Amino acid sequence: MFCVVKLKSIKFVLLVLIVGLLLALSFGGNPSAQVFFGYNVRLVPVYSVQTNNKQVAISFDAAWGAEKTEKIMSTLKEYDAGGTFFLVGFWVDKYPDLVKKIADNGLEVGCHSNTHPDMTKISRDSITSEITTCVNMIESITQKKVELFRPPYGAYNNTLIEVTKELNLIPIQWSVDSLDWKGISAEQITSRILSNVKNGSIILCHNDSDHILDALPMILDRLKGQGYKITSVGDLVYKQDYVIDRAGVQKPKS
């Protein structure tokens, strides 16, 4: 009886060790645990970047308005800051001269889909079409390669991430949400950003939010005062030999 019980205990310990090993492999990107348990590992975009440098990226989603865009560009230039504009296809079609001006000013242009749908509710083929249509429009105007994609509403699933990577784009979210689209004051926008920012943060703003023109100089001035270099997303992220952990932190492969 003692031998039987002891054997069962040994088998149980071995099973626990095997399961733990499989889970550890899964966290490192190995699909062993996925196969063993029959579940799908959730893919994630880049929310922030692991870096020791005092560097952050600021981004502006553009879909419906344009009149504040040029002032945003001039403010970025005044503070020697970079920036990324994630553009929707119908915005590109309506404001091609502004798209070119953004690129000509040394700022980055990323894709934000063609018609701004919830990408988790459309087919794989539609996802591909949404992205490639917008990318092709941007590239035909700027003559520069589009490298980044941000999903509308921040909505994503495995299919979207897979398609994005198949198209050689890096999927981008954000780690600091200004909430400028809610109509909050310039001081509130600035406070939200400064209280959440850290090395490698990606800041989300919008090009036509109510108080962005008042907030942006304060944001840039105070970030620079804290020693941060403010760049485009493309200048912050790793372009190759990287991994993205479950929290969306992009890291160089060790």
Provide the residue ranges of all domains of the chain, joining segments of one domain with +.
Answer: 2-37, 48-252
Residues with catalytic function:
61, 206
78, pLDDT greater than 60 = yes
pLDDT score for 254: 82
Q: Are 65 and 85 in contact (CB under 8 A)?
A: no
**pLDDT digits over 97-139, tens only?**
999 999 999 999 999 999 999 999 999 999 999 999 999 999 9
Separation between Cα atoms, residue 142 and residue 137, nearest integer Å: 9
**pLDDT digits over 17-36, tens only?**
443 444 443 333 333 333 33
**Token pair 């997303």 is at which residue?**
233
CA atoms within 13 A on the CB side of 183: 0
The H or E element that residue 56 is part of is strand 55-62
CA atoms within 13 A on the CB side of 253: 6
Q: Are 150 and 112 in contact (CB under 8 A)?
A: yes
Separation between Cα atoms, residue 26 and residue 35, nearest integer Å: 10
Residue 92: Cβ within 10 Å count = 25
Separation between Cα atoms, residue 126 and residue 18, nearest integer Å: 41
Give the pLDDT band of residue 40 (cuts 50, 70, 90).
low
Beta strands of 192-238 (E only): which ranges? 202-206, 229-231
Q: Are 202 and 174 in contact (CB under 8 A)?
A: yes
Q: Top-level CATH class of 48-252?
A: alpha beta
Residue 11: φ, ψ to 5°: -60, -40
174, pLDDT greater than 90 = yes
Predicted TM-score (pTM) of the model is 0.85
248, pLDDT greater than 50 = yes
